[in-house]
Structure 1
Amino acid sequence: MKKFFLFCLSLLIIYTMAYDLKIGTLKPLQAKTKMAPKNSQEKIFYQRVKVKAGDTVLSVVEQLHQKSAPRSMAKLIRDFRLLNNIHPEDIQIGHVYKFPIYPDKK
């Protein structure tokens, strides 16, 4: 019985490895594309900031506004990508990027 269990377990492992290598279990990476503003008349105000170690787009925007992010993460990421033509996760220490500034809603 022990040999049968080990045989079944090894078949299961071989099957899962073959499935993972042939079909895969992770979603494929999507091609990085430029995002265009929905409204071409839309103006995005920004401030240039040199990135330090530990900075993220969210942390820099929160520092600039001196409060939590004033817009949704999706809008923040879209605006950052439009201003810099780079994905937020690709920022590098020591480089200067344009970070969106949002006027207070009245």
Structure 2
Amino acid sequence: MRRISAFILIIIIAFAVYVDLSKGTLPKHIAPVVAEVTNLEKGEQEVGLTYFEKEVNRGDTVLSIIEQQNMNIENLPINVIAEDFSTLNNGIKPEEIQYGNTYKFPSYNNEN
């Protein structure tokens, strides 16, 4: 009985390692695009924001998408994220996003 249990345990571990190495357990990294964006609220002043584009799925929020792509944003105020999102998307508010559309999301990986 012990041999069968050990064999089954080895098979489960081998399968878990295979899935982890072939498909991975971490989300895919999307390379950020660097662009100069005009801040509409401050007139002609140019603001350099790094961003990535992503199509919104059902149930996604601006904050959830940004948290998936950026590391260490715990200390970043939500109002800064909302302002940067609106700046990148011509004044669209974060609560007005619609699934199926592609938006620009700010990337904070280089700043933290």
Give the TM-score category using the shorter length: 0.5 to 0.7
Is 1:65 paired with 2:70? yes
Report the Cα distance in structure 1 between the residues aligned to 2:106 and 2:52, rounded to whole angstroms: 7
Asked whether the 8 Å contact 1:35–1:81 carries over to 2, the reply is no
Report the Cα distance in structure 1 between the residues aligned to 2:100 and 2:51, rounded to whole angstroms: 18
Report the Cα distance in structure 2 between the residues aligned to 1:70 and 1:96, rounded to whole angstroms: 27
Q: Which residue of 2 aligns with 1:104?
A: 111
Deviation at 1:76, TM superposition (A): 0.4
Asked whether the 8 Å contact 1:61–1:99 carries over to 2, the reply is yes
TM-score by length of 2: 0.55
Q: Which residue of 2 aligns with 1:94?
A: 100
- Indicate the structure with greater strand content: 2
Is 1:56 paired with 2:53? no
Deviation at 1:71, TM superposition (A): 1.9
Q: Secondary structure at the match of 2:41?
A: coil
* Misfit runs of 4+, over 3 Å: 66-70
Aligned with 1:36 (options 30, 34, 41): 41
* Alpha-carbon distance change, 37 to 56 in structure 1, aligned in 2, over 3 angstroms: farther
Report the Cα distance in structure 2 between the residues aligned to 1:62 and 1:38, rounded to whole angstroms: 29
Deviation at 1:42, TM superposition (A): 2.2
TM-score by length of 1: 0.58
**Bigger Cα Rg:** 1
Runs (5+) with no aligned partner, structure 1: 1-33
